[in-house]
Amino acid sequence: MVFNIQKYSLYDGPGIRTIVFFKGCPLRCQWCANPEGLERKFQVMYKESICSDCHACVDACPVGIHYIDEKGNHQVNRDIACTGCQECVAVCPMSALNITGEIRSISEVMEIIHEDDEFYEQSGGGVTLSGGECTAQPEAALALLQACKADGINTAIETCGHSRMDRLMAIAEYVDLFLYDLKHMDPVKHNKLTGISNERILENLTQLLEDGHDVHIRMPMLKMINDSKPEIEQIINFLLPYKDYPNFKGIDLLPYHKLGVNKYGQLGMEYPVDGDPSLSDDELDQIESWIKEYDFFVKVVRH
């Protein structure tokens, strides 16, 4: 089950890439930019601001997700499971509805991937599995990676690292590059920020590096959450033993952004982040300089 296949990405691995976004994730990061990827199920996304309250979707939905309240306004019952039939989307004259989630076969996804073979060859690009969390669908992720490698396509995955180690290592045999998130070293704070502790994440990261798999660390950066010098030094100290490993490919700093905020309302969810934890360019440059003091290759990824 996927929720998007995005072409021409330049930020998710080398070269020009196609990103396959898997649905389902074990973490609940407060700043998640893809809330439609958290649950492995069909979900209604509803843009209330452009709805004309024509009520066409109420009649079209076979399971009664859409209804009209006592004030005559369209509402979405989130307790009813969406079947993904798309009937409500088809009849909405304002394009106020979208169903996130598609069941795709490996061959269907590969057909889309192969449309851009020329770009991969010219740029050194390929395919990146993302999400959500692709390892939350381990059989599908493995099958897609195997198909890509069989066709000579470079592969990468973006991962939170929270997976059974045996499943992750089976997948790793077909991954050219791991884009591996490190959000916080403190397990209590990590649990507060993501809903889960980080012991398994750190164990998996250590195993990947020790086994020689190429890993590029990614650190989402948020003000007053994980940007202090002691917090950065905790990560540095953890990574120092691997700094000179040829398969350790460096560190990316990912500044907080609000690109996914509107999706929360469309899904009937509240956005968990209070205020604006964005870091200034100067603050990001300062964090970058702290890490460079230890001779790490590090850069701020500015889109």
Would you list which residues are annotated within the binding site for [4Fe-4S] cluster? 25, 29, 32, 51, 54, 57, 92
**Alpha-carbon gap, residue 100 to 84, rounded angstroms:** 8
Q: What amino acid is encoded at 51 in this protein?
A: C
**Alpha-carbon gap, residue 98 to 144, rounded angstroms:** 26
Chain centre distance of CA 183: 13
Residue for token pair 């958290």: 38
User: Binding site, residues?
Assistant: 25, 29, 31-33, 51, 54, 57, 92, 132, 181-183, 257
DSSP 8-state symbol, 133: -
- Asked if the peptide bond before residue 132 counts as cis, ω within 30 degrees of 0, the response is yes
Q: How would you class 139 by CB atoms within 10 Å of its CB: exposed for 0-12, middle for 13-18, buried for 19 or more?
A: exposed
Closest CA to 26 of 164, 152, 212: 164
User: Binding site for S-adenosyl-L-methionine, residues?
Assistant: 31-33, 132, 181-183, 257
